[in-house]
Structure 1
Amino acid sequence: MNGPPLADRILGGWSGRIAGNMLGKPVERGDHWTRDRIDRYLRATHALPLTDYLPEPPPDASGAGFELRPEWRECVRGRVHGSCRDDDVDYAILALHLLETHGFAFTTEQVGELWLLRLPFRQTFTAERAAYRNLVGGLKPPLTATYDNPYQEWIGALIRADVFGWTSPGDPRRAAALARRDAVLSHTGNGVYGAMWAAALTAAAFTAAGPRAAVETALERIPASSRLARVVRHVVALHEAGVSWPDALTEAERETSGLHWIHTLPNAAVITAGLLYGAGDFSRTIALTVRGGLDTDSNGATAGSVAGVLCGASGIPRHWTDPLEDRVRSAVFGFDGVRIGELAERTLALSGPGDGTERELSAN
C-alpha cells in the first residue's frame, strides 16, 4: 500500500465521512434542494465554487426559497463546534461496536439485537424504522426487510457500510460480504447491492491508484446485470467520454427518473460523479457531491469517506477537520461525545493482520 499509512487513511475515512455529512446536512431535502437551487444559494451567498462548509443563509432566505434544515446553525461555516448528530455517523459507530462486540462472524440477527439495545427508535428512518418495528414485533431476518417495508431499495443500507470497508483495507470482497450480512436486515435488491458497493468502494480506496480504479473495483463486487451496476457504469462512461459534470448528472437523472430522492440508484450516480469529477481532490469531491443534490448529507458522507481514505487525514485541508474539534455527537447509547481519533484507533485495531477475519468469513 503506497501513500499515507493505514492509520492515517482510516482517520481520513472517519474525518472525511463526518465532514462530508456536515457539508450536506443543511440542504438535505432532495425534493426541494435541487442542483439548481443549491447553486443559486451558493451564488447568493458568494460561495461558488464551494470550498468550505455552507455559509449562513442570506437575510431574505425564506422569500427566495432558501430555507435550510433546522440544524443549520450547528453545521454552517463559522458555527461548527464538533459534529452534529446524524444517522450517517450513528450507523458507522454502531457497525464499529458490532464488530468489537461480535467479531467478523456476526450474524444479521445480532445486528438487529444491537439496534434494539443501542439505537433509539425515533432516530431511525425509512427502511431502518420498518425493520426496527418488525424486530420489536418479533419478526426475524429476512422478513424484517420485506414485511410492510416500501423502502427496501432506498439508501439506508449504503450509509451503514463504510466500517466494513475501513476494516477490510484492500479487500473489497470481504468488505462487500460483511456489508451484505448487515444490509439484509432491512433491505433487498439494489438496496443490498448499494451497501456491498459502498463497502467495496471504501476498501478498494486503500490500495487503488485513484477514485476511478476504486469505483471499477467496487463494481466487481455486485451483480453486473443489476440496475445499480448499470447506473454506475453509465456515469463512468460519461466521465470517460469527457462529458461535463452537470451534463453527466442530467443524463443520470434521466436514467433514474421516477425514483424517490432517497432511492439508492440516483444517489449512487451522484456519489460516483462526485468521486470521478473530484479527481482525488478532497474539497472538490465532497463539494461536487453535495452540489449534486438528492440525499446530500449521506452522499457527502460516503464520498468524503472514500476521498478521505484516498488522501489520508493528513491530506484533508484543516478547515474541514479543525471545526469538528475531534468530537462526535451520537444517538448511539454510550457513544455521545466520543473522539473521532478514538473511533479511528478502534477501527485500526480491527483492521490489522491476525484478527481472524478470513477464517470467520470462510466459515460463513
Structure 2
Amino acid sequence: MNPVGTRPNPVSSRTDLADRVLGGWLGRIAGNMLGKPIEQGEVWTRDRIDRYLRRAAALPLTDYLPEPEPAGTGQDLPELRPEWRACVRGRVHGSCRDDDIDYTILGLHLLERHGFGFSTEQVGDLWLLHLPYLQTFPAERAAYRNLAAGLKPPLTATYDNPYQEWIGALIRADIHGWTSPGDPRRAASLARRDAVLSHTGNGVYGAMWAAALIAAAFTAADVRAAIETALTVIPASSRLARTVRRVVTLHETRLPWEETLTTLAEETGGLGWIHTVPNAAVLTAGLLYGDGDFTRTIALTVRGGLDTDSNGATAGSVAGVLTGAEAIPAQWTEPLQDTVRSAVFGFDGVRISELAERTLRLATLPG
C-alpha cells in the first residue's frame, strides 16, 4: 500500500494495476461528490467557497462538504445546489447521479461493445440509445440534437454549437486513460475520437490532455512528470498547453496556491466558468500543490472554484491512480457504499468494484 502523499512506483503487477484502476474510479466519484453541491462557478467563487468552509470550521478541508447553515443565517452566501442533501458529510450513501460519471460509464460500455477501434459515429449511436437527452448539457446537448436531426460528425460538433471549447469532452476522457496505462499517446488518440463528436479546438485538446495525464499517472514518477508527459500530446501553441505550462511555472517559483489561481483567473478572464482552459488551470494547480496527497489534491481543486464537480472528479481520478485505492482515506470511499447512481440505461445501481473490474479487463500492463 502506498502511504498517502508518497510518490508511487510504476505499475508492476496485475494486482497493482487493479488497485490503481479502482483508485481511479473511486477517486473520480469521490471528487465529483465533493464538488457537486457548489457546482456553479459564477456564483460559488473561490472566496465564497472558503468563507463557507471557514464558518463551518472545515478548513483545511479533509472530508465532504459540511451541511449548510440553518435557514435564515449566512444570507451573504448563495444556496448550495439542490443535490446537496445527498452529497454532504454524514449524508452520503452511495454516489449521486451526475453527468461526469454517466459519461465515464458510457465510455466503458463503448469500449466493451465496439473495442478500441470504435468510431465517432458509434459514440453518437450509444448516446442516442443509452443516454437521456435531458441529462446532457451544453455542447453534448447540441451534438445530441444534431445527431437526432441526422447530422454526422464533425458537423455534430460545429452546427449551432457555441460550446465547442467547454469542458464536456474533458470529463469523458478518464476511461481512455485507465484502459491505456502507461500509454498516453494511445489514450489521447482514443479521447480525440470521442471528443470530436461534440467539441473542437481546446475542447478536444482538453480531452486528449486529460486522457494522457491519467494514462501517464500509472507510470510517472510523480504528478509533475505526468502533467509534463500529458502536454506532449497536444499542440504546444494551443491556449490550453500555454495555460498549463503557466501553472507549472508559477508553481516552480513557489508562489502560494491562492496567488497562482488569482494570476490565472486574470489571464483567462472572459472565457467563462465552464470553458476548458480556466478549468484546466484550476485542475493543474490542485494536482501540483496537492503533490500526490489524495485529500489535499481534491480539496484544493474543488476550493479553486469554476466547474467544481468536474474538476474534482478528474483530480480524484489522477490522484487515485497515483496512490491506488488502498491508500485513499476511508472518509472518501466508505460513504460511497460501492454503489453508483446513473442515468445510463442498464447501469443504475451498479457496483463501483464491478466497473473497475470491467475496466481492468480492457487494460494491459504497460511495457
Give the TM interval when normalised to the shorter protein. over 0.9
Give unpaired runs (5+ residues) of structure 2.
Answer: 1-9
Match of 1:258 in 2: 270
**Superposition deviation, residue 62 in structure 1:** 5.8
Contact 2:52 2:77 in 1 (8 A): no
> 1:19 & 1:9 partners in 2: Cα distance?
15
Match of 1:30 in 2: 41
Q: Percent identity?
A: 77
> 1:293 & 1:339 partners in 2: Cα distance?
29
Alignment coverage as a number of residue pairs:
355
Q: Deviations over 1:165-218 (max 9, x none)?
A: 000000000000000000000000000000000000000000011110110000
Matches within 5 A, 1:59-70: 59=70, 60-61=72-73, 63-70=75-82
1:181 aligns with 2:201: no
1:107 aligns with 2:119: yes
Amino acid at match of 2:52: Y
- Residue 47 to residue 20, structure 1, CA distance change in 2 (3 Å): same
1:206 aligns with 2:198: no
1:147 aligns with 2:142: no
Matches within 5 A, 1:278-357: 278-352=290-364
Match of 2:84 in 1: 72
- Residue 198 to residue 312, structure 1, CA distance change in 2 (3 Å): same
1:44 aligns with 2:55: yes
**Superposition deviation, residue 352 in structure 1:** 2.1
Contact 2:11 2:17 in 1 (8 A): no
Amino acid at match of 1:7: A
Contact 1:158 1:194 in 2 (8 A): yes
Match of 2:183 in 1: 171
**Superposition deviation, residue 126 in structure 1:** 0.3
Aligned partner of residue 261 in structure 1, secondary structure:
coil
Query: 2:248 pairs with 222, 236, 240, which one?
Result: 236
> 1:250 & 1:62 partners in 2: Cα distance?
25
**Superposition deviation, residue 127 in structure 1:** 0.1
Match of 1:120 in 2: 132
> 1:55 & 1:339 partners in 2: Cα distance?
26
Contact 1:158 1:264 in 2 (8 A): yes
**Superposition deviation, residue 285 in structure 1:** 0.1
Aligned partner of residue 5 in structure 1, secondary structure:
helix
The farther-off stretch of 58-67 and 133-142 is 58-67
**Superposition deviation, residue 66 in structure 1:** 3.5
1:246 aligns with 2:258: yes
Match of 2:5 in 1: none
1:87 aligns with 2:107: no
Query: 1:194 pairs with 185, 206, 209, which one?
Result: 206
1:10 aligns with 2:21: yes
Contact 1:29 1:294 in 2 (8 A): yes
Amino acid at match of 2:43: H
TM-score normalized by the length of structure 1? 0.96
Supply the RMSD in Å over aligned alpha carbons: 1.3
Contact 1:9 1:311 in 2 (8 A): yes
Q: Deviations over 1:52-105 (max 9, x none)?
A: 000000124561324100000000000000000000000000000000000000
Aligned partner of residue 180 in structure 2, secondary structure:
coil
> 2:118 & 2:279 partners in 1: Cα distance?
28
> 2:155 & 2:261 partners in 1: Cα distance?
35
**Superposition deviation, residue 2 in structure 1:** 4.6
**Superposition deviation, residue 254 in structure 1:** 1.1
> 1:316 & 1:71 partners in 2: Cα distance?
24
TM-score normalized by the length of structure 2? 0.95
Match of 1:361 in 2: none
Contact 2:23 2:321 in 1 (8 A): yes
**Superposition deviation, residue 353 in structure 1:** 6.1
> 1:243 & 1:217 partners in 2: Cα distance?
23
> 2:180 & 2:140 partners in 1: Cα distance?
24
Contact 1:202 1:309 in 2 (8 A): yes
> 2:341 & 2:39 partners in 1: Cα distance?
18
Contact 1:57 1:66 in 2 (8 A): no
> 1:236 & 1:62 partners in 2: Cα distance?
36
